[in-house]
Amino acid sequence: MKKGTVYLVGAGPGDPGLLTVRGAALLRQADLVVYDHLVSPRILDHCAPGAKRVYVGKEADRHQMSQQAINRSLIRAARAGQTVVRLKGGDPFLFGRGGEEALDLVRAKVAYEVVPGVTSATAVPAYAGIPVTHRALASSVAVVTGHEDPAKPSSAVRWDRLATACDTLVCLMGVSTLASIAARLIRHGRPTVTPCAVIEWGTYPRQRTVTGTLRTIARRARTARVRPPAVLVIGDVVSLRERLAWFEARPLFGKRILVTRASDRAASFAERLEALGAEVVQLPAIELVPVKQNGLFRGVIKEIRKPDWVFFTSPEGIGWFARMLRPHRKDVRWLSGCRIGAIGPKTALAIEEAGLHVDFVPRRFSQEGILEGLPRRLLTGKRALILSAAESRDVLEAGLRARGAHVRKVPIYRTVIPAALREGVAAVARQRFDLVAVTSASCVEHLIHALRAAGQGRQLRRLRFASIGPVTSQAVRARGGRVAVEAKTSTIEGLIDAMVRAR
């Protein structure tokens, strides 16, 4: 039987972008992923579709599984020949009990590797604008657990020596004992005016920082109702935060945004919003599927005379068109000799990446924009083919006919409601979002339909929609929704710019 291996992988402090390249690669290979409480759900997106995921998170007074049971499960899976990733917040060998798990694996003669992670001891202060060392302020740093009560006589932490031994002290898991830690350090000689910071949910978009001095920090943290997870930083380096607080200064910091774009395009959109500081929840409200085969498409491509104009109304269109050509032993070269119109720059880029030249892109990225930009003389008597979603509007078709063109509109894909939307919309409706980003009328229709089907229609009144353009905004208003943000140009870039301006 094949022997399995256990990988003790550090997931980093929370921001999914801080997962190491090695950690991501192992998640893609794992048969079993055993993960902790502070592992971001976005990190689990790296897992292979068939991988089993087991949550063993530990919270205060609530443990999903004992440490001994976790160790036994790792050993059992490895002996069964599985590749196991034990995914731990931060770094597995820094207050992560990775050493205990490794010793049990050695005793069981199970192969293992350690993949270090970005530790919260340095990453969280960095995200709060606090370097733990600085040539003019701090040449030494100590990392200590605050989880045990320092007032206990049996405390393993030598607070009497730590108080003045290092320039910077970083205490992990010390929120509940913050007052005791401060009192002990003052008692052993640390000045009461020493700058301090408590950073809650560090590296997450919900990050919050409370500052004070060693005398005042416990009271200020209590007043602010700081809760775990939080990191305490003590030392003169905290004074640099006022000038170096870069993370909270990002334009969408603290905003919670629901992204409804199709799943194959939602990730890149979400990443760009996260880079601007937003907390993003993805709930795709649209899925693209093939149309049923019929004679309409076959009739078009079998005709001897090709269209003069071919119009694509979405970036996805060229891919679906190529897919529909394959059974007829043809490819996109069939469009040679046709003039090609694209509804916008993203659609034009997709067409050109397929090796074709785009002849026309309107200034206003909509069906109306195409009609505004093409003179009647270019259309009268011409044969036009519109390749679009089955549910797309008929504005372009009607407008081309009115200008004297002979028009055929052929659906090449359909938009449907994803199963995950039906399952997830009720839970999402109970959450608070600053904005709901919608990138098409279909996204709007499907989301609102799912809300009402789940008995959550009343939640529509409190949602603030960020719309990609006038057509999508009209769909929101027609269904009783409120448009808080509308892009000036109907692109993802335009939508992001509009959200930044409206913050």
Concatenated DSSP letters for 360-372?
Answer: B--SS-SHHHHHH
Supply 14's token pair.
Answer: 């929370």
Query: What is the widest separation between alpha-carbon atoms in the chain?
Result: 94
**Kind of pairing between the strands at 309-312 and 339-342:** parallel
Count the Cβ atoms, other than its own, within 10 Å of residue 432: 6
* Letter string b/e over residues 157-185, b meaning 16 or more CB atoms within 10 A of that residue's CB: bebeebbeebbbbbbbbbbebbebbbbbb
Of the residues 173, 382, 409, 499, only one is catalytic, namely: 173
Phi and psi, residue 64, nearest 5°:
-70, -35
User: Based on the number of CB atoms within 10 Å of its own CB, is 27 exposed (0-12), middle (13-18) or buried (19 or more)?
Assistant: buried
Supply 59's token pair.
Answer: 């919270």
**421-429 contacts at long range (C-beta below 8 A, 24 or more positions apart):** 421/283, 421/284, 421/285, 421/446, 421/447, 421/450, 422/450, 422/453, 422/454, 424/283, 425/283, 425/450, 425/451, 425/454, 425/456, 426/454, 426/455, 426/456, 428/258, 428/281, 428/283, 429/454, 429/456, 429/459
Q: Using CA of residue 327, residue 331, residue 332, residue 333, what is the dihedral sign?
A: negative
The single residue listed with the structure tokens 């839970």 is 427
How long a stretch of residues is the chain?
A: 503
Q: Is 324 a catalytic residue?
A: no
Angstrom distance (rounded) from CA 265 to CA 443: 13
Phi and psi, residue 186, nearest 5°:
-65, -40
Angstrom distance (rounded) from CA 234 to CA 86: 32
Q: Is 36 a catalytic residue?
A: yes
Phi and psi, residue 161, nearest 5°:
-85, -35
Q: Is 173 a catalytic residue?
A: yes
Of the residues 31, 58, 308, 497, only one is catalytic, namely: 58
Of the residues 36, 91, 167, 434, only one is catalytic, namely: 36
Q: In this structure, which amino acid lies at residue 422?
A: R
Beta strands in 354-475 (DSSP E): 383-389, 406-416, 435-438, 464-467
Angstrom distance (rounded) from CA 383 to CA 150: 82
Q: In this structure, which amino acid lies at residue 79?
A: R
Candidates 313, 315, 258; CA nearest to 282 is: 258
**243-246 contacts at long range (C-beta below 8 A, 24 or more positions apart):** 243/129, 244/129, 244/130, 244/131, 245/128, 245/129, 245/209, 246/129
Query: Which residues does the annotation mark as catalytic?
Result: 36, 58, 173
